[in-house]
């Protein structure tokens, strides 16, 4: 069944303002550290990472990781289907997520990337669904906390619906 957006949660202007604030905080924190490797998690983070990376005023490199998660599995099993190209040992790494929901994906990524001995590893999520988060994961930079609703737009989707909307909206549940 075709989905529809029920309401706007964050407008283009609100998102742009908040991404600018995040970029300023991240730039200030990394200014003295040299190059930071931003690792976007596909597909959802592609618009957020494009905007965030362009607003930073520090030296940065962009990489991507793709994962697939088995929503049916009670373990919250996650598998990497595309890895970064570069070696991150000794580098300052920032994981960039569109949304932290259960936190299982982020937990898995932190485990894998930590084992590669980066100089530092931090996390940034545009949205955080705290009520749904079950994994104990640190989120160093959060754009907006949200409730337990399904959101689309600005890279986020429901079965590809809504991914390229310029704003973030809530869709009707099934």
Query: Helix (H, G, I), strand (E, B), or coil: what is residue 9?
Result: strand
Residue 73 dihedral angles phi and psi, to the nearest 5° = -75, 130
- Measured from each CB, the residue nearest to ligand 7HP is 101
Q: Nearer Cβ to ligand 7HP, position 36 or 156?
A: 156
The site for ligand 7HP (CB under 6 A) is made up of 99, 101, 150-152, 156-157
Active-site entry in 51, 98, 101, 157? 101
CA distance 69 to 31: 34
Q: Nearer Cβ to ligand 7HP, position 51 or 104?
A: 104
Taking a C-beta distance cutoff of 8 angstroms, is the pair 47, 155 a contact?
yes
Taking a C-beta distance cutoff of 8 angstroms, is the pair 63, 87 a contact?
no
Q: Based on the residue annotation, tell me whether 101 is a catalytic residue of this protein.
A: yes
At closest approach, how far in Å is the CB of 38 from ligand 7HP? 20
Q: Nearer Cβ to ligand 7HP, position 18 or 43?
A: 43
At closest approach, how far in Å is the CB of 63 from ligand 7HP? 21
At closest approach, how far in Å is the CB of 39 from ligand 7HP? 18
At closest approach, how far in Å is the CB of 100 from ligand 7HP? 8
Angle between helices 46-55 and 12-30 (to 10 degrees): 60
CA distance 152 to 149: 10
Q: Nearer Cβ to ligand 7HP, position 44 or 118?
A: 44
In the chain, where does DSSP find H-type helix?
Answer: 12-30, 46-55, 104-114
Catalytic site residues?
Answer: 101
């Amino acid at each position: 069944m075709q989905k529809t957006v029920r309401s706007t949660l964050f407008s283009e202007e609100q998102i742009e303002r908040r991404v600018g604030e995040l970029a300023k905080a991240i730039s200030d924190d990394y200014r003295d550290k040299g190059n930071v490797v931003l690792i976007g998690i596909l597909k959802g983070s592609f618009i957020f990472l494009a905007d965030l990376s362009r607003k930073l005023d520090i030296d940065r490199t962009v990489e991507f990781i793709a994962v697939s998660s088995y929503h049916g599995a009670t373990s919250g099993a996650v598998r990497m289907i595309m890895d970064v190209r570069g070696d991150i040992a000794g580098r300052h790494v920032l994981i960039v997520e569109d949304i932290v929901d259960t936190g299982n994906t982020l937990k898995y990524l932190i485990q894998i990337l930590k084992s590669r001995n980066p100089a530092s590893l931090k996390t940034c999520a545009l949205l955080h669904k705290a009520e749904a988060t079950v994994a104990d994961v640190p989120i160093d930079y959060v754009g907006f906390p949200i409730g337990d609703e399904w959101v689309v737009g600005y890279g986020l989707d429901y079965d590809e619906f809504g991914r390229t909307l310029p704003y973030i909206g809530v869709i009707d549940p099934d």
